[in-house]
Structure 1
Amino acid sequence: MQYDVIIIGGSYAGLSAAMPLARARRRILVVDEGLRRNRFAAHSHGFLTQDGNAPGAIASQAREQVMAYETVEWLTGKAVAVALTARGFRIEIEGEEPREARRLIFAGGVVDQLPEIPGLAERWGSRVFHCPYCHGYELQQGRIGVIATSAMSMHLALLLPDWGRTTLFLNQAFEPDAEQLAKLAARGVTLEREPVRAVEGELDLVLRDGRVISLDGLFVPTRIDVASSLPESLGCEFDEGFYGRIIRTDAMKATSVKGVYACGDAARMGGSVPLAVGDGTLAGAAAHQSLIFDSH
């Protein structure tokens, strides 16, 4: 069976991409592994009408609304290979028959790579975060930490005093120069050079010298990588940023490969739910219009 569009990834971006296509009565297939990036977080913030709701509940409601359209199909599984065909694209799905489509949208998100500090990963999404706009307000002007992963961690450290008393743990990632030290001082950021040995308790940072610094929230600028290897295997170009690689797209979310679109965190540096939703809507509308105006 030939679909108009296959969407790989059924979280916020993928479901948003599906909506304009479904409303255009195009036959689409959403393939999803069920690994939302924010699956570890109890609440989602900053998305109008959904502020404070559980991320899973938002995704579940979105899926229910998209699946109400009769031309949409859903497949829980992992897309493992993709190839060009005379009519578009052929997708190999683990344990399933191959599927084909005229257009392809990658919305599979990214993987966060945390520093290898014992106890850090276990608190990811509950006490350890990456986005102050998503999680900073709930810390109620409390004690906040930033574990540096590169010199770009300065950006986050300078933002965070608006949300609470901030300590920057350099963790041997870099050493601020005189200008950077002056900026940190102007924002009231405390500097800690002793490396972090472990994270224990609610959020107790145990330093190498044995000191313990207790916090209300901890932010870590993670290194990211696109979750799926398929965009690269298909020949999509990437952009390298300070925090990792993302799929290169134009203003309408088209990749460097004709007929292929990408949206959400995999195609935007600095992801959030509202940005993923907006990106997905653009990608879905662009894919639909390409079916009408572009030959393949």
Structure 2
Amino acid sequence: MNDVIIIGGSFAGLAAALQLGRARRNVTVLDTGLPRNRFAGHSHGLLGHDHKPPLDILVEARQQLTRYPTIRLVSARADSISGIIGHFSVLTGDGESLEGRRLILSYGVVDQMPDVPGFAESWGTSIVPCPYCDGFEVADQHWGLVWSGPQSMNQIRLFHDWTDRLTLFADGHDIAPDTRADMVRRNIPVVDGRITEIVRHGSRNATVKLDSARDVAVDILFAHPRTRPSASLHESLGLATVNTPTGIVLKVDERRETSIPGIYAAGDLTNPGMPSVTIASWQGATAGISAQQSMLA
């Protein structure tokens, strides 16, 4: 029997596996090979790996885990979970049945792209969600932001550390008069109308086409589409969730334990609105250590 089965082998899952492997616990990591940030050319802000392609970092991480004989990496999807703390069962898409004393869910989320031509094709290059990840490379250039709700005001205040040139796209949303007045005070133009197409130019620049206004060219476009968990295992388990402005995430305590004893979660699956490799790795390490300590005699 495994001590821990980890479902999801990106940054959070591998960070958890590393801590458990160093504690000489038997671990199986199931992974589909589709990390959320696979569309990004480079990952930024991760100490020691700044400006490296995220897939290259993951390849190196998996190679490093081969040092630990108690870690098993499996390319497979988890189809179902059953059992209770001390004896969980996981059935994979390949028909393998795994037993584990603890579970860590780190299968991440999927960004739900709007039905706008060019949007999905530009995601991770001309359209990005996080200024901490990509802001430095386009500092002092013309940024665009697609309004997604009141939480967009936090982004507007945040962006000021990187640029003073920002255009806000309402994209059909009703923006309150006081918010519009604040945009005037900040010298931020608000462009009304729905976005009908994104035309990408090179690696970053894009033209935003609208149904009721002129086209607007920007050097980078920030957007925050809603997310959903990339699997439904938490639903079948009945785990408690939290509905946030950007999507549903799993509810966890300070030890990363979910509402069911013995099941832990980490990474974007638990982290509303702050996609970060650094944070995912920290949460994964915390989940791994918490799972290990929960099994001490």
Question: Which stretch of structure 1 is more off in the superposition, 126-135 or 140-149?
Answer: 140-149
User: Number of residue pairs matched?
Assistant: 291
Q: 2:65 maps to what in 1?
A: 66
How does 1:233-272 map onto structure 2 within 5 Å?
A: 233-269=236-272, 270-272=274-276
Question: Which stretch of structure 1 is more off in the superposition, 106-115 or 247-256?
Answer: 106-115
Establish whether residue 291 from structure 1 lines up as the match of residue 295 from structure 2. yes
Write the distance in 1 (CA, Å) between the matches of 2:183 and 2:255. 38
Deviations 1:27-80 (A, max 9, x none): 000000001010000001111111111101111111111222000001101101
Q: 1:230 maps to what in 2?
A: 233
Establish whether residue 218 from structure 1 lines up as the match of residue 221 from structure 2. yes
Quick one: structure 1 residues 86 and 281, their matched pair in 2 at CA, closer, same or farther if it must change by over 3 Å?
A: closer
Write the distance in 2 (CA, Å) between the matches of 1:192 and 1:210. 7
Q: 1:93 maps to what in 2?
A: 92
Quick one: structure 1 residues 220 and 86, their matched pair in 2 at CA, closer, same or farther if it must change by over 3 Å?
A: closer
Q: Secondary structure at the match of 1:292?
A: coil
Write the distance in 1 (CA, Å) between the matches of 2:162 and 2:121. 23
Is residue 258–residue 264 contact of structure 2 (8 Å, CA) maintained in 1? yes
Quick one: structure 1 residues 115 and 149, their matched pair in 2 at CA, closer, same or farther if it must change by over 3 Å?
A: farther
Is residue 205–residue 212 contact of structure 1 (8 Å, CA) maintained in 2? yes
Name stretches of at least 5 consecutive residues in structure 1 with no aligned partner.
none
Q: 1:204 maps to what in 2?
A: 207
Q: 1:106 maps to what in 2?
A: 105
Is residue 85–residue 102 contact of structure 2 (8 Å, CA) maintained in 1? no
Establish whether residue 279 from structure 1 lines up as the match of residue 278 from structure 2. no
Write the distance in 2 (CA, Å) between the matches of 1:219 and 1:169. 10
Write the distance in 1 (CA, Å) between the matches of 2:277 and 2:118. 26
Establish whether residue 36 from structure 1 lines up as the match of residue 56 from structure 2. no
Write the distance in 2 (CA, Å) between the matches of 1:183 and 1:264. 34
Alpha-carbon offset, residue 187 of structure 1:
3.1
Is residue 86–residue 102 contact of structure 2 (8 Å, CA) maintained in 1? no
- Corresponding letter in the other structure for 2:139: Q
- Corresponding letter in the other structure for 1:242: P
- Corresponding letter in the other structure for 1:287: A
Write the distance in 1 (CA, Å) between the matches of 2:110 and 2:213. 32
Question: Which stretch of structure 1 is more off in the superposition, 21-30 or 196-205?
Answer: 196-205
Write the distance in 2 (CA, Å) between the matches of 1:259 and 1:32. 20
Write the distance in 2 (CA, Å) between the matches of 1:175 and 1:182. 10
Q: 1:141 maps to what in 2?
A: 140
Alpha-carbon offset, residue 87 of structure 1:
4.1
Write the distance in 2 (CA, Å) between the matches of 1:17 and 1:192. 44
Alpha-carbon offset, residue 143 of structure 1:
1.1
Deviations 1:139-164 (A, max 9, x none): 13111111122232222233223323
Is residue 3–residue 27 contact of structure 2 (8 Å, CA) maintained in 1? yes
How does 1:39-188 map onto structure 2 within 5 Å?
A: 39-84=38-83, 87-164=86-163, 165-178=165-178, 180-188=179-187
Q: Secondary structure at the match of 2:295?
A: helix
Write the distance in 2 (CA, Å) between the matches of 1:51 and 1:98. 38
Write the distance in 1 (CA, Å) between the matches of 2:85 and 2:125. 47
Write the distance in 1 (CA, Å) between the matches of 2:150 and 2:69. 50
With structure 1 as the length reference, what TM-score do the two structures score?
0.94
